[in-house]
């Protein structure tokens, strides 16, 4: 049967998940859902990519829908107001394009271009309105995303989000240096870096505008809530590593849990895949426990006051969407053209990227 009761393609078909990537617990215990705004979301994000010149028109036409970037967000931030989901989806599409630029700057040995982009993104994060018309489309589009995302919640949320993304930019710089030098981080080093490059706390922050409520520190930092949030993101990052391992080996990547296991733990490729599946399975099991704890915490916030009820409702919405992250990430990896390496002419060069000297002007 199709993974989705409302398929995101015009010709729904059953998705064949390779045995090495199949997780029956996700397919059975994490029903997939889709935000009702999804059809408009896909259309508007496709238009936004064109308007912001983030991808050439021919690549948008040929690849944008098949990359399923909007599907990923529409399956995660359920309950979000349409304008919030649209801003998040455009930002997510930008993030993937930025990730591809970062990769091409490494492949084509453009440290100067990467350094300029890094500093420009830091600046745009702090003063996005000043960068809306920047000469680099990637910077201008990022500024557009920030202006919109900063409009939903108070300045305290904006400051926290900016601090988290400054860390992500610097983590990408560490990845640039590691790859340029051929340095494979140890498993422990990699897992710490991955929490930043996968932007764990960015996607968690965005649960709040989706729920229409900024959560106070005491709620966000509650151990039950924070553990559920972390585990949902760890699953996504590690499952991404499992699915992208062939792509990243072909592209001479050094940042992948499997690559670190092979390099530093002496595992064969097959053993590394088994170990990754074991860790992912443990993560899912741990989330199911953490989810229950977080929902009990949410219940306890409802103390009979208006504020207590508001916080309890918002936390429950956030935790429900943490659960949605499992299914939407899982199916995204089997639907998106981003991971269909075997269909590419060159396994080291994704067909949807601009492989020219972007950023050198």
Pair of tokens at residue 358: 């972007």
Cα 6–Cα 22–Cα 16 angle in degrees, nearest 5: 55
Q: Which ranges of 127-154 would DSSP assign to H, the alpha helix?
A: 137-149
Contact 80, 209 (CB under 8 A): yes
DSSP sequence for 75-97: TTSTT--HHHHHHHHHHHHHHHH
Q: Which residues contact 86 (CB under 8 A, 6 or more apart)?
A: 37, 41, 44, 45
In 3D space, the residue among 79, 73, 233, 214 whose CA is nearest the CA of residue 150 turns out to be 214
In degrees and rounded to multiples of 5, residue 127 shows phi and psi of -140, 70
* Known catalytic membership, residue 176: no
Q: Which of 4, 30, 32, 96 is catalytic?
A: 96
Q: Is 96 a catalytic residue?
A: yes
Half-sphere exposure of 244 (CA within 13 A, CB side): 23
Q: Pick the closest to residue 323 from 7, 111, 60, 32 (CA basis).
A: 32
Instruction: Tell me the residue ranges of DSSP E strands in the chain.
Output: none
**Does residue 30 have an active-site annotation?**
no
In angstroms, the first-to-last Cα distance of the chain is 49
User: What whole-number distance in Å separates Cα of residue 335 and Cα of residue 342?
Assistant: 14
**Marked catalytic residue, from 30, 152, 161, 198:** 198
List 4, 30, 95, 297, catalytic entry: 95
Residue with token string 């499997």: 258
Cβ–Cβ < 8 Å for 72, 332: yes
198 catalytically annotated: yes
With a CB cutoff of 8 Å and minimum separation 6, the contacts of 356 are none
DSSP codes of every residue in 52-77: TTSS-HHHIIIIIHHHTHHHHHHTTS
The answer to whether 52 touches 273, Cβ cutoff 8 Å, is: no
Using only C-alpha atoms, the chain has a radius of gyration, in whole angstroms, of 20
Catalytic residues: 95-96, 198, 338
């Amino acid at each position: 049967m199709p993974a989705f009761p409302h398929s995101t393609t015009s010709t729904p078909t059953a998705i064949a998940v390779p045995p090495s990537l199949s997780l029956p617990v996700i397919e059975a215990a994490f029903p997939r859902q889709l935000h009702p705004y999804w059809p408009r979301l896909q259309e508007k994000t496709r238009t936004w990519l064109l308007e912001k010149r983030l991808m050439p028109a021919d690549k948008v036409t040929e690849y944008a829908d098949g990359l399923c970037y909007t599907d990923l967000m529409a399956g995660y931030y359920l309950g979000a107001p349409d304008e919030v989901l649209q801003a998040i989806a455009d930002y997510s599409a930008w993030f993937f394009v930025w990730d591809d630029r970062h990769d091409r700057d490494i492949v084509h040995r453009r440290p100067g271009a990467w350094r300029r982009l890094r500093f420009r993104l830091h600046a745009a994060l702090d003063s996005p309105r000043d960068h809306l018309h920047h000469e680099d489309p990637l910077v201008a589009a990022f500024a557009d995303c920030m202006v919109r995302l900063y409009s939903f919640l108070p300045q305290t949320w904006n400051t926290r989000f900016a601090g988290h993304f400054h860390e992500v930019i610097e983590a990408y710089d560490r990845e640039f240096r590691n790859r340029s030098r051929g340095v494979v981080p140890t498993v422990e080093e990699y897992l710490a870096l991955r929490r930043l490059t996968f932007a764990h706390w960015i996607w968690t922050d965005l649960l709040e505008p989706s729920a229409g409520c900024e959560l106070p520190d005491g709620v966000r930092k509650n151990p039950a809530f924070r553990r559920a949030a972390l585990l949902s993101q760890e699953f996504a990052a590690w499952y991404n590593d499992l699915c992208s391992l062939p792509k990243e080996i072909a592209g001479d990547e050094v940042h992948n849990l499997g690559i670190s296991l092979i390099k530093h733990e002496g595992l064969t490729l097959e053993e590394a895949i088994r170990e990754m599946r074991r860790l992912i399975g443990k993560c899912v099991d741990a989330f199911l426990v953490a989810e229950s704890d977080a929902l009990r915490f949410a219940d306890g916030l409802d103390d009979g006051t208006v504020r207590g009820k508001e916080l309890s409702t918002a936390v429950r919405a956030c935790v429900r969407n943490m659960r949605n992250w499992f299914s939407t990430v899982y199916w995204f990896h089997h639907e998106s053209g981003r991971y269909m390496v075997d269909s590419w002419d060159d396994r080291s060069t994704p067909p949807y990227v601009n492989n020219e000297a972007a950023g050198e002007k």
